[in-house]
Structure 1
Amino acid sequence: MPLTPARHRLAGLLLALVCLPALAADPLPLRVGGDPNYRPFHYQAEDGSPQGFDVAVMQAIARERGLAPRFEFGEWGRMLDRLEHGGVDVVPMFVSEDRAMRFRFSRPFLRRHHVLYGRRGQQVGSPDQLAGRRVAVQFGGMAWEWLINEQADAVLRPMNDEAAALSAVAAGSADFALLPSDIAERALAAGGLGDVQAVGPPWLERNYAFGVNPARPELVPEIDAGLQAIEASGELARLQQQWLQPAPAKAGKGRPLPVWLPVVPVALVLLGAMVFLARRHAAAGRD
């Protein structure tokens, strides 16, 4: 039966309704950069998969806003350059005045700070006390930028891994390490760093947010809306509990218990019974 103009319009409308869900479901690609060794916030697992709190937060945002994140990891200083020049779209980071001139930022989703670590017994109250001292920091990181801006005149020891800054202090190749306290405390709890401990007050308290490529300003309201949604649902708090709760202290390796130790209580009971029976028998003999 030939189609009338009305039937043509109806068929077209039905076709559009069938195709619309498929078109709407097509997610927007999003390139998310990060550091491969920034545990527990974002890092590359042994199998190459992206892991960490920041990764989980971005995946939750992506579900809310119809985004398709692809995670790319690399050396931190180069990753910031890639973000500025469009090599990636988003990178989670501390917010600072210098960075605000290079990137746009989402609403913050954490508040974090840095702490100075050194050998037991040392105390440092201000950056000027670091003049001439070797301070291990992540190259291009927040501590690196801050010490340069503060003109602390410290001898900076650049590291590609935040936790490796603590190892430099333990090994004696640096006098101090300045890094985020949450990362440092997890590394210290894992053990093997000798007498390294916090030697100063909290420094560099800053907001933590998603830095956005300045050529992609439309991403900021998308990320903000996603953050607001997962905060209201309680998912953000659950992810914080899952990824950022303090790591349990590593149990020290004591001497193994002797294999005979569990037998001691039984032996003592048997010995007591034997003594009791012997005394009873002796008393009966006298009677």
Structure 2
Amino acid sequence: MIELKKAAKASVFLETAPFFDIKQKRSALIMKKMCYLLTMGLLVGSLTVPVFAASDADSASDKKWVIATDTVFKPFEYTDDDGNFVGIDVDILDAIAKDQGFEYELKSLGWDASIAACQAGQADGMIAGASITDERKDSGWLFSDGYYNATQSMTVQKDSDIKGFDDLKGKTVGVKTGTQGATYAESLKDEYGFNITYYEDSPTMYQAVLGGQVVACFEDTPIMASSIKDGDLALQILEDTANEGSPYGFAIFNADNQELLDMFNAGLKDIKDSGEYNKIIAKYLGEDAVPTEEAETDATETPAADEEAAE
């Protein structure tokens, strides 16, 4: 805004400067004209500014919202064999947008880039399997109601000697930067005496486990289960290592986008009431993963990816 004001001032200066180079005998006439134009300009401006302001306010709900998301976080967001961007997050957002009647542009930026885009005002919101935590709220994020409850677990090679946290002493595990899996590993690091290597995406982290660069990785349980199944990876989730988990939520960083958050919450309730939400969960995770009313209320258990789940 400051730059725009500077540009406007510069423009006014350039447009009016030549008038002061004319001969003295025309200066009085020019000044009279300028005063007249200036007066008319102020009058017109006083009439049009409120109209523009009202127009902007009236069209707020008609704007196209920019939503950032991850690139690969299957089954929540990923590219299918036909090149379409799909997933639980993608379908939930689309269903809510249709229910609430708003338009949006979904940008697959990656986890870190999505966070940065929201903080910089380049995206209005973010849906990328973001766990709702007090730490994130304290740092300025605003979250919707939870739309999926996920635990985090430790994963190792199928033939690994690692059976639990006690076997990690002096070894190195992998985590994805800025995730709840990373937070979980960090909370155990000192107690069990292991080191942590950070990765920018999940596939690279999985390959590090398979290649022996790290002995294990920490990841959201449904994500890990889906990746092992779809990629036929020689990995196994150690079920006893799962934490209590936390719900995923739609997130905004700018309070000016509260309207978007409110629409997400209203739409989420509607698609749950209509049964559309359960259809989306079953589509990607299988019928067994559809949460019961008790699970939705208690939010303590997370459905794992079903072996027969559709992609």
Kept in 1, the 8 Å contact 2:171–2:194? The answer is yes
1:248 Cα offset (Å):
3.6
CA spacing shift, 1:41–1:58, aligned 2, 3 Å: same
Offset, 1:239: 0.6
User: CA offsets, 1:202-238, max 9 Å, x none?
Assistant: 1250111101123322222111101011111000001
Q: Which residue of structure 1 lines up, in the alignment, with residue 133 of structure 2?
A: 96
Aligned to 2:281: 240
Aligned amino acid, residue 36 of structure 1: T
State the shift of 1:36 in Å. 0.8
Match of residue 267 from structure 1: none
Structure 1 residue runs without a partner (length 5+) = 1-22, 250-287
Of 78, 82, 102, which aligns to 1:43? 78
Report the alpha carbon displacement of residue 124 of structure 1 after superposing the two structures with TM.
Answer: 1.8
Residue type of the alignment partner of 2:195: V
1:61 aligns with 2:96: yes
- Pick one of 209, 230, 254 that aligns with 2:271: 230
Deviation larger for 103-112 or 156-165 = 156-165
Identity of aligned residues (%): 20
* Equivalent residues of 2:69, 2:106 under 8 A apart: yes
Q: Is the 8 A contact 2:68 2:123 kept in 1?
A: yes
Gaps of 5+ in 2: 1-57, 287-305
Does the CA-based 8 Å contact 1:88-1:213 persist in structure 2? Answer: no
1:8-52 per-residue CA deviation (whole Å, 9 max, x = no partner) reads xxxxxxxxxxxxxxx99x843111111111111012456664311
Higher helix share: 2
Residue among 212, 223, 228 paired with 1:188: 228
State the AA in 2 paired with 1:136: G
Q: Please name the residue that 2:181 is paired with.
A: 143
Contact 1:166 1:184 in 2 (8 A): no
CA RMSD of aligned residues (A): 2.6
Aligned to 1:13: none
In 2, Cα distance between equivalents of 1:97 and 1:150: 19
Give me the TM-score of the superposition, normalised by structure 2: 0.64
Normalising by structure 1, report the TM-score.
Answer: 0.69
- Give the alignment of 1:99-178 within 5 angstroms: 99-101=136-138, 102-119=140-157, 120=159, 121-125=161-165, 130=168, 132-148=170-186, 152=190, 154-178=194-218
Pick from 120, 141, 153: which aligns with 1:85?
A: 120
Aligned partner letter, 2:74:
R
SS of corresponding position for 1:117: strand
| CA radius of gyration, larger in | 1
Q: Which amino acid aligns with 2:214?
A: A
Q: Spell out, residue by residue over 1:123-160, the C-alpha distance to the aligned partner (whole angstroms, 9 max, x if none).
A: 2247xx64542211112222223434555464322223
Q: Distance in 2 between matches of 1:63 and 1:158?
A: 38
Counterparts of 2:168 and 2:125, CA distance in 1: 34
Write the distance in 2 (CA, Å) between the matches of 1:226 and 1:79: 22
